[in-house]
Chains A and B, each alone.
Chain A
Amino acid sequence: MTDLLVTLLAAFTVWTGWRVFRVDSMVRASFSLMLSFIAVGGIGVLLSAPYIGVATVFMMAVEMMVMAIFMVMFMMNPAGLNPMSMVHQHRFSIGAGVVAALGLGAAVLLSSPPSNPVLSDADVVAELGHELLGPSMLIFETAGVTLLATMVGAVILSSRQGRFGNADEGSRPPGLSPDGEPAGRKPDNGGEGHHHHGGHG
C-alpha cells in the first residue's frame, strides 16, 4: 500500500516538475513546482518523516507564493494568454538534463544500498529535536545565522537606496573637496560599477 502510494507520488512529483517548463502561465508554473514539492512532502510523511514532510509543504507553499509574485512582476505576459517559451542553448540543455537523469538513474540501478528501514516505533520528531539542539547545534545555529545574514543581504541588495543616493541613478560618493569631483572610481560607459560577486545563481 505504502509502496503504491509512494510510486504514485514519485510519478506525480516528476510530472509536475516537468510541467513547470511546459506551461505558458507563470502562475501555473510556480504552483506546478509547489505541487511537485507537496508530493515530495507526502512521500516524507509516508516514509515516517512527518516533520520533514509537512515542513516541506509549509515552506514551499510560502516560497512558491513569493515565486509566483515575482514571476508576474518580472515576466512579460505572465498570464499564459500567449504561448511562451524563452530558452537558449536548448539542445545542449536537453542533452545535459537527459545525461544527468540517465547517469543518476543508472547509478541507482547498479548500486544496492543497504536496507535498513527506520523503526516503526521510533519517535523521529523528538530525535530530530534532540539532534538539532544537541550534537548538531553548531550546524543548526550556523544555518540560523546564515539565514539572518541572507535577510540583511537581500534587503540591502534590493533596496533602492544606495550609499550615496538612489541606486538606479548611479550613486556616486561626494567630492573630497567642496564642489570637487566625486570621489571613487569613474564609471565606464554602460555597465558601470556593477560587480556582483559570483553573479546570479
Chain B
Amino acid sequence: MGLSSPDPASVFAAIGPGWQAPVERLLARQGLRRALTPRDAGILLVAGDMPGTAAEALSRVHDQLPHPRVTLRWTIAEETADAVAERIAATWRDLRAGEADESDHLPDQPPNEWKGVGPHGQGGKGMMGGTPYGRTMAMTGEDIRDGLQLDRYTARIGPFAPMLPPGLVLEVTLQGDVIVAASVQSPPFAQPADADAPELCAARMLTLLGLDEPARRSIRGRRPSGFWVRGAVPRDLGRIKDAGNARDRLAAFLAGDSPAVAATDLSELLPGLEWSEAMLVLASFPPSSILRAAPIPEAA
C-alpha cells in the first residue's frame, strides 16, 4: 500500500457464455482491476466464444476504450488463470510503455442516418420529438410514481454492461431514475453452476453497495467486512414468493449458501423500481435463475 503500490492493469471484461466465474475470480487478483466502464480500461478481455449477435456490441465496446488499448482473448479452457494474468501483466507493461495500440473496429460515425426535421433536426412537433441520428428525442409519458408526465428516455443496455449479468440486453424506459418499462432483448449467456457460487454472488452485490475491497475479499474466499452491509439493502426489495427478499438473499450469500430461487419475468419484476434498486435485485439472483427468468424474445 501507499506510494509504492503499482498501477494495476485496468481490464474491461466482455464475458461470454460459461466464463463468468473464471473471469470474476481472475479480476479479483492483486495487480488487476475490473473497470466499471470501458472509458476507464486499457485492456479489453474477451472471454469465451462470443455468439454472432454480440459481435457488433463487442466492437462498439472495443472502440469505447481510450487509446492506447489492447484486446486479449481467453477462449481456451485449458489456459489457466495464472497464465492469463501473466499475459495481462505483460500486455499492460507494453501498453504503459506505449508499445501497443489498436485502431477502431467501427467507423466513428453516428449509428444511424440523420432523420431529424428542420435545419437542426429538432423535428417532431414544435421543438419536441424527431429522431436525429436515429435516436428518438425524449417525449412525455405516463409516470408510474407520482403522475407527473415528464420525459421518458428509452435505451438499450447490455450485453457487456458490468452491472448486468453478461449477455443480458435490456431495453429500459426510464423516467428520471425510475424504470417504467423493461423488456429483455437478449437473454443472459448460459453459465455453468460455478457462477452461482455464493462468494461470487455476494461480491456482485457488495460492488453495487460501494464496497469494492470487501467484494474482492469475498471472491478470494475471505470474509468480507463492512458496516451496515445487510441493512443497506432496503427491506422489501425484490421480494419473491417463498424466497424472501434481496436482503435475505445477500445474507444467505454471505453465510455461504446459494439459495435456489425462481426469479419472475424481468419485464414484470423491474418496472417501478429505481435503477439502483433494480440492479441490486438483479444481482441478488444467482445467474442461473436470471437465465430462467429472462424469456427469449420471439423472433426478434
Report which A residues bind B (CB closer than 8 A).
73-74, 76-77, 81-84, 86, 160, 166-168
Contact = CB atoms under 8 A, between A and B. Distances in A.
Contact of B120 (A82, A86, A167): A82
Given A76-B127, A77-B128, A77-B137, 13 more contacts: A74-B150, A76-B126, A76-B128, A77-B122, A81-B120, A82-B127, A84-B127, A86-B127, A160-B146, A160-B147, A160-B148, A166-B147, A167-B147
Contact of A82 (B121, B147, B150): B121
B120 A83 contact: yes
A110 to B, nearest CB: 45
Residue of A73, A74, A77, A168 most packed against chain B (CB within 10 A): A77
Contacts of A84: 127
Interface in B117-139: 120-122, 126-128, 137
A74 B150 CA distance: 7
Interface residues of B, number: 11
Contacts of B147: 160, 166-168
14 contacts: A76-B126, A76-B127, A77-B122, A77-B127, A77-B128, A77-B137, A81-B120, A82-B120, A82-B127, A83-B120, A84-B127, A86-B127, A160-B146, A166-B147
Interface in B45-78: none
A74 B151 CA distance: 9
B72 to A, nearest CB: 37
A167 B148 CA distance: 10
A84 B126 CA distance: 11
Interface of B: 120-122, 126-128, 137, 146-148, 150
A76 B99 CA distance: 47
Contacts of B121: 82
A73 B128 CA distance: 14
Contacts of B126: 76
A86 B147 CA distance: 26
A138 B128 CA distance: 50
B150 A73 contact: yes
B148 A82 contact: no
A76 B151 CA distance: 9
B131 to A, nearest CB: 13
A198 B148 CA distance: 23
Contacts of B148: 160
A166 B128 CA distance: 28
Nearest to A73: B150
Contacts of A83: 120
B210 to A, nearest CB: 24
Contacts of A77: 122, 127-128, 137
A24 B147 CA distance: 29
Smallest CB-CB A-B distances: 8 pairs: A82-B120, A82-B122, A76-B128, A160-B147, A168-B147, A76-B127, A77-B127, A160-B146
Nearest to B146: A160
A57 to B, nearest CB: 29
A152 to B, nearest CB: 19
A160 B145 CA distance: 10
Nearest to A159: B146
A82 B128 CA distance: 10
B161 to A, nearest CB: 23
Contacts of B128: 76-77
Nearest to B120: A82
B139 to A, nearest CB: 9
Contacts of B122: 77, 82
Nearest to A72: B151
A84 B120 CA distance: 10
Contacts of B137: 77
Contacts of B127: 76-77, 82, 84, 86
